[in-house]
Amino acid sequence: VSAEHKVLAERDYGRLLRPMLVQAAGYARAILRNRHDAEDAVQQAALRGLERLDPFDEPRPFKGWWFAILRNCCIDVLRTRRAADTCSLDDKDVPDSGSAGSPDWESLSQAIERLSAEHREILRLRYFGGLSYRELAETLSIPQGTVMSRLHLARKALAAAAKEEAL
């Protein structure tokens, strides 16, 4: 990759990243349950993605590629937090008030937390990240057919979990 191509790619990177940041923040917040940590994870992912621009293959869906990086950054933040054992009650995120009759995002996040790892991942990426099936396939490194069946089963599992919690 020539130096000129790299600079152009960096410019495109910012342009492509900007519209995804709000959903990325929501996704990170659903995993980390803390707004400050979520913002840190998104910032780390933005920088890590910039460092990894070279291996990025143009035809791959950018959002799916970048959310895989964000997911790893969230895992890193969780590991750091567990190692430091710094999660106190003060760090707990305060859920924004939802409209009457609808669950707040923390209740949804808690219901998702009770599911299997496969179902957790795909539901968070779909609902909080807003990823399409093609992007989900890229992030999770699975075929689109598997995305379709896994997402359906995950929804069923979430419905059962929500029913239990009367979400």
Partner 1 sequence: MRAVDRSEISAYLDGELDDARAREVEAALAADSALTAEFAALDAADKNWREAARAAQFEPSVRLPAAATFLPSLPGLAAVMIALLALRFLPGLVGSSVWAFAIHGVALAVLSGWTVRAVAAFPAEDEQARAL
Residues that bind partner 1 (CB under 8 A): 3-4, 6-7, 10-11, 13-14, 17-18, 21-27, 29-30, 35, 38-39, 42-43, 46-47, 50, 95-99, 102-105, 107-109, 127-128, 132-133, 148-149, 151-153, 155, 158-159, 162
Complex with partner 1: residue 83 or 94, whichever CB lies closer: 94
- 36 and 28 Cβ atoms separated by less than 8 Å: no
Q: In whole angstroms, how close is the CB of 121 to partner 1 at the nearest point? A: 14
Q: Which lies closer to partner 1 via its Cβ, residue 114 or residue 155?
A: 155
Measured from the CB atom, the residue of 44 and 83 that comes closer to partner 1 is 44
Min dist CB 124 to partner 1, Å, is 9
Task: Output the smallest distance, CB 25 to partner 1, in A.
Answer: 4
Minimum CB distance to partner 1 smaller for 85 or for 101:
101
Query: CA distances (Å), 74 to each of 3, 34, 40, 67, 164, in order?
Result: 31, 11, 9, 10, 28
